[in-house]
Structure 1
């Protein structure tokens, strides 16, 4: 497998703080190519052999803003069994419902744009329902929970110029942990 040629912006890049604009259909060739390249990159990053070969950090999601394009689209590649992936293309997403229950990732969230360890918890809703379009312009609704709910909320934050580190209280990085469930 060949690593796609994509450049992921670093957290210091001000582009990441932009609010992404809605995408219009049909998608252009550049957008379609970027969707495929981003998904291929994510899958390669999750396969140990390639991660070592290309010196990558594993990632499961990328938003277009991380690739320098402030458009409301992100992709997620979920490993459902060893080296087998389920692909999500999420365009112009809107969270239409969310659980009251809050969760956090015990090991801490990570981001391909944040190239450092960050201590602390990021409160996320345990379950969310998202309305979005696929790459063909078809409207769909998806309900996600646990890890996938975290991933979707993380990527939607990117579309609004928010990084996961913005949710962490620097003075008390584990603030209110007792009010949430660890996953």
Structure 2
């Protein structure tokens, strides 16, 4: 089984995240997409970042109607600060029969050369890159690397920051969120 790992704080998860993940689940060789919720670093207190389990709950609510999309709290138990290579090593040990790939936006690919052990990641894992409207250029070594797959997914320029700010300003963000997530945020009075 080939699993695509989609990392993020998902604060909150929105329709852009779901659209990209579902596109990859339906139009690539990935069997499942796991939304890996990045835990809050104990050293960084961000008032706008909801608790780990509240964000995991939103991912659960957003993905529960999709067979190929799953929430994952795999990083919650790993030491912080955590690096992607550590998560991949842990997953390989826990699920030796699975193949793991990374999902990232084109903007993240531009900084991949700064990641810890990025050569090792590229040696052992495919990377699926979805388009973003962003400045700058991708490092030449990544432009036609055999492990890097550019996916023709819809360009989704919706951000969690925009959604949080809009909620704070009393704006209606309902169309930007999966229905279950919107209800949960509304009931819990998050980001107000």
**TM-score when scaled to structure 2?**
0.26
Which has more strand, going by share of residues?
1
Which has more helix, going by share of residues?
2
